[in-house]
């Protein structure tokens, strides 16, 4: 085995399902950001965690609004996912990148073009190293063809601007 720098440990855990985290801006327009650091942490009650650097605009928006949605994109959204993941919503209005629709229980919308969406209210945020672990209470889940959701691969994030899909075996 070759030695790898410790700050790249997370690349050994890739690929991970890419997620589009949406939070509301001050003007109530949606701000999407791309994240691959997310995981379920409890089934009962349903709680998940996302990891976002405190320097990110979306981090601030989640803290202020107390809610967010997690949207699971298909590979057909790759170009827009890359764009959403490489520019800050603080500098550019990203609300036109996707087709947003009203969520089930929150003010923050979900993305209609995605395979599924999870609506969350903020439980708490804890700074750990250079990121915050943000815990969200799952209040609603929406999916297109939930029984067959894994017949089509979600977009997988490998690292940086690299993405892939899986082939079931």
The answer for residues whose C-beta is within 8 angstroms of residue 110's C-beta and 6 or more apart is 22, 69, 71, 100, 101, 102, 103, 117, 119, 142
Does 1 map to a domain?
no
Rounded average pLDDT over 54-64: 97
Does 62 map to a domain?
yes
Does 30 map to a domain?
no
pLDDT exceeds 80 at position 168: no
Does 20 map to a domain?
no
Whole domain around residue 147: which residue ranges? 39-156
Structure-model confidence comparison of residues 137 and 162, the more confident one:
137
Does 113 map to a domain?
yes
Rounded average pLDDT over 61-76: 96
Does a cis peptide bond (omega within 30 degrees of 0) precede residue 132? no
Does 134 map to a domain?
yes
pLDDT exceeds 80 at position 150: no
Number of domains, the chain: 1
The CATH number of whichever domain residue 97 belongs to comes to 2.30.110.10
Does 133 map to a domain?
yes
Does 99 map to a domain?
yes
Q: pTM score, two decimals?
A: 0.93
């Amino acid at each position: 085995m070759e030695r790898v720098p410790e700050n790249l440990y997370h690349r050994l855990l890739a690929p991970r399902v890419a997620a589009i985290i949406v939070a509301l801006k001050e003007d109530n327009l949606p701000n999407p950001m791309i994240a691959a650091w997310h995981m379920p942490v409890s089934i009962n009650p349903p709680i998940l965690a996302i990891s976002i650097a405190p320097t990110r605009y979306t981090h601030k928006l989640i803290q202020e609004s107390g809610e967010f949605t997690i949207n699971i994109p298909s590979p057909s959204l790759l170009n827009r996912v890359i764009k959403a993941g490489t520019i800050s919503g603080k500098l550019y209005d990203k609300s036109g990148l996707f087709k947003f629709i009203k969520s089930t229980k929150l003010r923050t919308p979900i993305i209609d073009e995605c395979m599924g969406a999870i609506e969350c209210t903020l439980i708490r945020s804890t700074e750990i190293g250079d990121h915050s672990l943000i815990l969200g209470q799952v209040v609603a889940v929406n999916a297109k063809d939930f029984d067959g959701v894994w017949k089509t691969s979600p977009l997988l994030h490998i690292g940086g601007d690299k993405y892939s899909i899986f082939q079931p075996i």
